[in-house]
Amino acid sequence: MRNFLSGLNEQQQKAVLHTDGPIMIVAGAGSGKTKVLTTRIAQLMESGVESFRILALTFTNKAAKEMKERVEQLLGNNEARNLYIGTFHSVFARILRGEAYRLGYENNFTIYDAEDAKSVVKTIVNELALDDKLYKPSVVYNRISAAKNALMGPQEYRNDYQIQQEDLRSNRPAIATIFEAYSRRCFKNGAMDFDDLLFNMYRLLKLYPEALLKYQTKFRYILIDEYQDTNPAQYEIIKLLGAQHENVCVVGDDAQSIYSFRGATIQNILQFQKDYEGVTTIKLEQNYRSTQTILAAANEIIKNNKGQIPKELWTENITGEKINLVQTSTDNEEGKFVADMIREQKLRNHYINKDFAILYRTNAQSRAFEECLRRSGITYIIYGGMSFYQRKEIKDFIAYLRVIVNPKDEEALKRIINYPTRGIGKTSVDRAVLAANENNITMWEVLLRANEFGYKAGGLNAIETFVVTIKSFKSMLEKQNAYEVASHVGRQTNIIKELFNDKSTEGLARYENIQELLNSIKEWIETPMDEEGGEVGDKSLSTYLQQITLLTDIVEKDPNADAVKLMTIHAAKGLEFECVFVAGLEEMLFPNALSINTREELEEERRLFYVSITRAKKQLWLSYANTRYRFGNLIQNDPSRFIDELPKNLLQQNQTKQTQENKWSNRRSGKSDYEYSNESNAAKSPIRTSTLITPITKTKEHIPSVNFKPSDTSGLQTGQKVEHQKFGFGEVTKLEGSAHNPIATICFEQNGEKKIMLNYAKLSIVE
């Protein structure tokens, strides 16, 4: 017999050699779970188990492919050919093809993806004459999807009192009716959506005993990867399939259960030992990925959760460097810090771009990092998502701004002419494009003269209303700045309102992205200096669009290319990098404001932080910003509660040496990116990370005067002498910024010239 155990540690060997009976393998981050799973499959087959008797289920096609390839490397292609390895959906679709007749389907049934399903929902909403703004396809589809993943069909949905009350409170009482019609339509069309593949697999096993017995007998050994991510439907199917032999092997980590928004429940793994008698539990606690310091931090963080399977990760790797905790004044400065640090680490430690990952809680946070990386000439890709400026809602909104500035912009015009829906359909748009081409005029001119081009009453009225709307926006350009115009567009077109009313996960993300775009415009108009330190007087919409042109011209990158990876923490699960930046560690952002209402929600946020930490192999930076624009306002932030849970002896707090400071000053004419000061944080002895090129000024200590008392600075004048609690005595040399966000340039006797946000600073006027 072949020996597959070489290279496995003691616990891994136990997991591989255990064959019969239920087993739970609690696999900590970086503990080699994929190696254990594949070796276990090879060992079963080596001991005489036929390949078609083994069922291995994963959550992603990538994981399934990797698992199958590793088994083939161990056994050879011929032996692994008949293995049932795949995602829940792919394996169940394969089974349902052969059993469809039992459920009344043809075996060539169509599988609808999410867009197909939403299209069917949209059709039904129109047929029922319901308000499509209230019953948005994405909202209704997500509601139906959640129900089916909880094994709830249309009738159960209608009969559930709590659910009906929720729909009434959201003013959508007809969702049950839509659900019924949707199910009938899919069945009539011979189609199943992704959720039906689980729902109908459960129905097959539950309603047809002969089918249940067939697959219980067929699959003698069942292995499930990432068991902590299973939802109720997947859980019940596994229980049914494994009931005869109970050779069920689940592999997972409760500390990495982060997908409750998709219907996953951590209780499935926490309760596994109660579901089967005589469960063998094996913990894989040796980590092969991270340094001892990073693991120590992860262990301390997760100990704060009550709902968990206790374990202690350890490693034989080196102790490693301390974790860098970085405080910046703004989110833009956070982006600059990260870009500068990546450049320095590449020079100092010979890293390449793909050694770095920037992780954040929400997609909207990518903007600041994208801009700073691009300006620094650092190649990057958005992993598991797309560039901030390439997201549909951002492109749609910017298209409005482009049309306002230049109505001749046909591509932008076509993008927004019927967004939000206003009754100008594809036929009307095609007619306008054709007329423009035939008459050698712009599409906009066709719309201005729509009555000359054969449009009927309904379409004509819609076009004329649209033209008036754009003209009204255009009239604002000379009198109002970019932010005032953009925010007005968002309100008047109802774009912001529609996205706000969409409470689905996708809708919330789109709403946050639009708010982030508005925040970036607001910050741009209130920033007194451009990137080269010169004056910026023109804050018009035209100048703003010109400024972001290069940022929106993102070239698609090869996922395997040498590029820094930007991604949400959810997308980072299962990945690892030499160096990791975890950004935005602020209360109400991480943990997220929507996820702190219950202990269970907060614990999932903490598990998300645990996942982010354990992606790092050698170096880890944690950063937060004192201020961040949200909903058009500059918001003061408190550091995340998770920072307080980190052992202080594991954190690095260094300051830049004077020689390094001088080197930067020579390069930037004395201007520092991080000199925008925030008084409320000055008293906290801000944490700064030592770098060769990071522009952070070392502050000379100042003890405030005994009678120090903050003054009203609304009437502050140039030439006045002031005292600052941290920077000491100085003279006001310049006042700028907006009335809502005034900024003073002050030359301090001991700390040089600094820019101070007067809304936050506490200054005492001396004379």
- Return the DSSP state at 321: P
Is 225 one of the annotated active-site residues of the chain? yes
Is 33 one of the annotated active-site residues of the chain? yes
The CB density around residue 197, as the number of other CB atoms within 10 Å, is: 22
Q: Is the Cβ–Cβ distance between 638 and 587 less than 8 Å? A: yes
Catalytic residue among 14, 19, 34, 431: 34
Residue type, 154: P
- Beta-bridge partner residues of 633: 630
Q: Is 684 exposed, middle or buried (0-12, 13-18, 19+ CB in 10 A)?
A: exposed
Helix H, strand E, coil C: the string for 426-464 is: HHHHHHHHHHHHHHCCCHHHHHHCHHHCCCCHHHHHHHH
- Of the candidates 165, 168, 111, 172, the one whose C-alpha atom is nearest the C-alpha of residue 139 is 172
Catalytic residue among 68, 415, 615, 762: 615
Is 13 one of the annotated active-site residues of the chain? no
CA dihedral over 55, 59, 64, 70, signed as positive or negative: negative
- Would you give the distance in Å from CA 512 to the centre of its chain? 11
Catalytic residue among 39, 87, 230, 256: 256
Catalytic residue among 99, 226, 371, 393: 226
Catalytic residue among 225, 254, 370, 526: 225
> Distance between CA 246 and CA 69 in Å, rounded?
27
Is 34 one of the annotated active-site residues of the chain? yes
Strand ranges in 616-762 using DSSP code E only, listed in sequence order = 616-630, 633-636, 651-652, 676-677, 721-724, 728-737, 742-748, 752-757
Residue type, 719: G
Q: Is the Cβ–Cβ distance between 583 and 623 less than 8 Å? A: yes
Residues contacting residue 254 through CB under 8 Å, at least 6 positions apart? 26, 228, 266, 269, 270, 307, 308, 309
Catalytic residue among 11, 12, 13, 33: 33
Q: Is the peptide bond before 591 cis (omega within 30 degrees of 0)?
A: yes
Q: Is the Cβ–Cβ distance between 35 and 9 less than 8 Å? A: no
Is 615 one of the annotated active-site residues of the chain? yes
Structure tokens at 421: 């829906």
The CB density around residue 188, as the number of other CB atoms within 10 Å, is: 8
- Return the DSSP state at 504: S
Active site residues: 33-34, 225-226, 256, 615
